[in-house]
Amino acid sequence: MNLIQQFTRFVIRKSFHLSVGIIESCIDTTSSRQQQKHLKQLPPGTLGNDIAVCLEQHQLRLVPGFESHDLKHVLLGFKMTPEDEIRLQAFMIGNGNYTFASFAILLFGVLLLPDCWLIFIKDWRNGRKAVPISIWTIDAYAHYSTASLQQSLYPEINTTIEKIAFMNVFVRWGAFAAIAAGVFGMLFCLPFLFSSSMKDLVGAGFPFLGGAVIAGAGLIALSNLSTAKVKKGLAL
pLDDT, one tens digit per residue, over 178-210 is 888 888 888 888 787 777 777 767 777 777 788
Q: Give me the amino acid identity at 23.
A: I
CA atoms within 13 A on the CB side of 216: 7
Burial of 192 (0-12, 13-18, 19+ CB in 10 A): middle
The reported pTM is: 0.62
CA atoms within 13 A on the CB side of 175: 17
How far is 101 from 188, CA to CA, in rounded Å? 76
**Alpha helices (H) in 100-197, listed in sequence order:** 100-112, 117-129, 138-141, 146-151, 155-189
Q: What is the pLDDT averaged over residues 127-140? A: 89
Average pLDDT score over the chain: 81
Percent of the chain with pLDDT over 70: 85
